[in-house]
Chain A
């Protein structure tokens, strides 16, 4: 490494998706400022959606490049790993924007425009995280996402819960960032670089010297990431933040923010620590054990806590904890050496996509119910079948997918992960995964029970705003299609993606 390469004007083309979001965010901010007070802010939502779609189109154009593009001396990487995750983020934010259009007033958000344009920098942060090849870039992206999220959680200004949720989230988020930074400082101290790609080589050379410090940095980083993905025992902020936040923002935290956390966790853990260690210092097996234990803890704690919830947002928060556990399973598995099992990324991203649709769908239905009943309690779903039969059917599909029953995306996603786990012969993790899934039937079917077996005599027919309804049906349709034809998605990902070239940064 001799001289820092400069960013050329031509390189900006590689940043088109990110720049589109920046420009949209600026335009929307100014528009929101200058538009007269009484103008309908829905137009902002549609504009924002247009920006997201254009950005996604740019990302799609970058897919399947011959060689990963690296900017600013490896600190920013545009490879298929990053692009696929960016598509997940943008789809998520797009759906969330769609469901926010015309519904924010009732959610208790007085200035809907703010929420709409704050979603964009948050997504930008997530995209930077997915693309980062350097700890500094990574941290900047992370903070961009986090700080905008803190603001968005507190956006229901008249609600005490919203303030409480935002405060808890900000404090705990700050602590987790500090832990993460601390871990990063150890890495920097040991390797003398912040570049993720160069670290593992240096670590390998100095195994003897840094023995314990490598473990310290691994666990600190891992704990910091675990907070972002809300895996037990680092999940305590999630239920409060979700409950306080406006529903679209809860969905954002549950899907986009969590996916961004996974993006960096997966990349950093693999690029830095995979292959580091020897017989005397078995970091390999220890890392596997740590990730697997965390996955098991998240699955057990998330599903067990969800059993007792009566509030739908808290229930979805705990279900999100459990899902973080399922998503950690493929990440753990690769640390087990099996001569034939290398499809972890397909397993991970497929379940992430399925999770995206079923979770946003669940939150969108929650918004419909909330609009009718005025609260987020489970009892609001009572008799939904009589009041909005099609919404009840859509919710049933989504819930079945969350529970992992065929034929849905959630089912195939779990099956694929489970199959990988058994190929890696990690039987105990597979057993925990499937038993906790069955336990989850209990609370997921509680929703179905409310919708179909209870009656609500006060309720009349429920009217759904069109964009919200469209969001619900996109999610439902995607969930079913992912279950019926999973090959299309997995085959495409497998055809463009390479673990060595797109995922691990090594120099």
Chain B
């Protein structure tokens, strides 16, 4: 049914239509702007629901492939050896597709952006620009999860950078500009490392010959398929030693591959974030507007994990195997460091920020396991943490609106005045600490189960994080909900409908994932099966 529609492009670019629509609404029509923006986020949400139901769970291949040449640059052919060829060029395609790993993330993006647009009712100024940037950001995020060409992926990855800079820097709290700068520089450096790795890949493994009508052409390509093919086929230029073929400039030595994996790890590690690169995200979590943090924590961090899987593990399985132990150690460090520091924080947003670090550590562990259970767990954890952290920051936004503080020692007893919100907070907290029946449990279980098979010690230490999670989550939630309440808060209103709707939606999805994980497991399973069949043959040595 969907096969004839460019459904992915529709999803990815429908937010831009919203941007254009918003351009024509006068600045002072706040109500209309909000309504139009929320409607604009509903379009990709509905489309992605449709996509999700239409997705073929029985195949692990890329689906809904859209491909067309975008940038086709002829290169100079005057050198002796190049003249005999028909053409010599490099080509980047506009090429979009989804498989079982990207599909859930596309849906997550659509869902959380809508929720964030709803949560943005608390934004106090310049709504029009805010929503336009939010929609632009959404396009970038969709693109990241759909792009099948290194160049296209990079472009979308960078496109998320600019609107995010504005969203943090204009609508945040006191120290917003510093946070925006820190965000920009850290992520800019991460992207820079990624770009170098990508271009090295394109200029070696992206190099191919093609026959058309008796004439041969040479080209560089950014297509993931081409690159994967060259990386894995033993007789490609990439795997031909310079000693066997004159001066082969396309040879990727094992050392170079190792370095490329390391570069990708750094590039995506900044986004994820992995332990020493995490300071920027604390700043963003505390200083940005909560609805922006919903997107940041809910989706942007997942881009790091997604990139690490898509480009790190899938293109360099053998190197990933060499790196498995360091990865697991990094994961454990993330979990424990995040958990311990979350326990020490007096600011609720920082508790959540450190808990994000801790939870992203579990994703790393799942990846490090390099088996099906671990990878499934990693993807589950990405989705689950996306939902939970979005919900938590939605609550932070609503609470801050009423109390004007997020300091734990000044909050308390809110269960008396705002029982509904505190109830939701409790659910979110339970999900976060991994209570069975909620989404956090199943993902952590899978990730640790995967790792126990290969690195029991690392898994055992990492599992301590779950205990710590219970401690720091309960500590924060209890402090906010119970205990003495300052007198002047007694007349506080509970959640309005526009706040309650996204809370209930997110809780519903958290529950759904907890009690019926197949909803995510089904599309995922085939993809991961196929990938691991490929990987295990390639990891061989």
Interface residues of A (CB under 8 A from B): 338-340, 342-346, 400, 405-407, 411-412, 415-416, 418-419, 422-423, 425, 427, 430-431, 434-435, 437-438, 441-442, 445, 448-449, 452-453, 486-487, 490-491, 494-495, 498-500
Contacts and interface: CB of A to CB of B under 8 A. Distances in A.
Contacts of B75: 342-343, 346, 494
Given A422-B196, A434-B192, A435-B189, A345 B76 contact: yes
18 contacts: A339-B246, A340-B88, A346-B73, A346-B75, A406-B155, A415-B199, A422-B199, A422-B200, A448-B166, A449-B177, A452-B166, A452-B170, A453-B177, A486-B71, A487-B71, A490-B73, A494-B73, A500-B78
Contact of A494 (B74, B154, B220): B74
B195 interface: yes
B73 A486 contact: yes
B82 A340 contact: yes
A491 B246 CA distance: 29
B195 A434 contact: yes
Contacts of B195: 415, 418, 434
Contacts of A449: 169, 177, 180
A427 B195 CA distance: 13
A435 B73 CA distance: 25
Contacts of B188: 438, 441
A499 B76 CA distance: 8
Interface stretch (B156-164, B300-308, B376-384, B398-406): B156-164
A224 B343 CA distance: 63
B169 A422 contact: no
Contacts of A500: 78
Most B C-beta atoms less than 10 A away, residue of A407, A438, A500 = A438
Contact of B169 (A338, A434, A453, A494): A453
Given A423-B249, A453-B177, A442 B196 contact: no
Please classify the interface of chain B as helix (H, G, I), strand (E, B), loop, or mixed, using the class held by over half of its residues: helix
B344 interface: no
A339 B247 contact: yes
Interface of chain A, helix or strand or loop or mixed?
A: helix
Contacts of B191: 438
B206 to A, nearest CB: 10
B249 A425 contact: yes
B81 interface: yes
Nearest to B74: A494
Contacts of A415: 195, 199
Contact of A405 (B90, B161, B181): B161
Contacts of A339: 79, 81, 246-247, 249
Contacts of B177: 449, 453
B185 A487 contact: no
A453 B79 CA distance: 52
Interface string B189-220: 10110011001101100000000000000101
Nearest to B218: A340
A153 to B, nearest CB: 35
B165 A445 contact: yes
Nearest to B250: A340
Interface string B268-296: 00000000000000000000000000000
A434 B193 CA distance: 8
A500 B461 CA distance: 65
Contact of B181 (A342, A411, A442): A442
Contacts of A419: 90, 199, 202-203, 220
A450 to B, nearest CB: 11
A339 B75 CA distance: 13
Interface string B58-91: 0000000000000111111111011000001010
Contacts of B81: 339-340
Contacts of B165: 445, 448
B471 interface: no
B72 A406 contact: no
A438 B185 contact: yes
Given A406-B155, A442-B185, A498 B78 contact: yes
Nearest to B199: A422
Contact of B76 (A453, A487, A494): A494
A489 to B, nearest CB: 10
Given A342-B79, A346-B73, A400-B162, 9 more contacts: A342-B76, A418-B196, A419-B90, A434-B192, A438-B188, A441-B184, A448-B166, A486-B71, A491-B74
A330 B196 CA distance: 16
A407 B140 CA distance: 12
Contacts of A345: 76
- Counting contact residues on chain B (CB < 8 A from A), the size range is 35 or more
A490 B74 contact: yes
A470 to B, nearest CB: 22
Contact of A342 (B77, B90, B154, B247): B77
Interface in B438-479: none
A423 to B, nearest CB: 5
A416 B203 CA distance: 12
B288 to A, nearest CB: 13
B165 to A, nearest CB: 7
A343 B165 CA distance: 35
A343 B192 contact: no
Nearest to A412: B71
Nearest to B204: A422
The CB with the most chain B CB atoms within 10 A, among A400, A407, A441, is that of: A441
A406 B159 contact: yes
A342 B195 CA distance: 22
A458 to B, nearest CB: 20
A441 B180 CA distance: 12
A495 B189 contact: no
Nearest to A446: B181
Contacts of A344: 76
Nearest to B248: A339
Interface string B132-166: 00000000000000000000001100110110011
Contacts of B199: 415, 418-419, 422, 430
Given A406-B158, A425-B249, A449-B169, A441 B73 contact: no
A266 to B, nearest CB: 15
A436 B218 CA distance: 32
Nearest to B169: A453
A427 B88 CA distance: 23
In this complex, the member of B81, B90, B203, B246 whose beta carbon has the largest number of chain A beta carbons within 10 angstroms is B203
A115 B250 CA distance: 53
B155 to A, nearest CB: 4
B192 A438 contact: yes
A437 B218 CA distance: 31
A346 B74 CA distance: 9
A482 to B, nearest CB: 12
A491 B200 CA distance: 23
Contact of B192 (A406, A435, A445, A448): A435
A388 B402 CA distance: 36
A4 B121 CA distance: 81
A427 B79 CA distance: 23
Nearest to B159: A406
Contacts of B181: 442, 445
Nearest to A407: B155
A449 B177 CA distance: 8
A487 B159 CA distance: 21
A441 B185 contact: yes
Nearest to B193: A434
Contacts of A486: 71, 73
Contacts of A435: 189, 192
A498 to B, nearest CB: 6
B73 A495 contact: no
B87 to A, nearest CB: 10
B78 A342 contact: yes
Contacts of A422: 196, 199-200, 203
Contacts of B203: 419, 422-423
A498 B78 CA distance: 8
Interface in B239-274: 246-247, 249
Given A406-B158, A423-B203, A445-B184, A346 B76 contact: yes
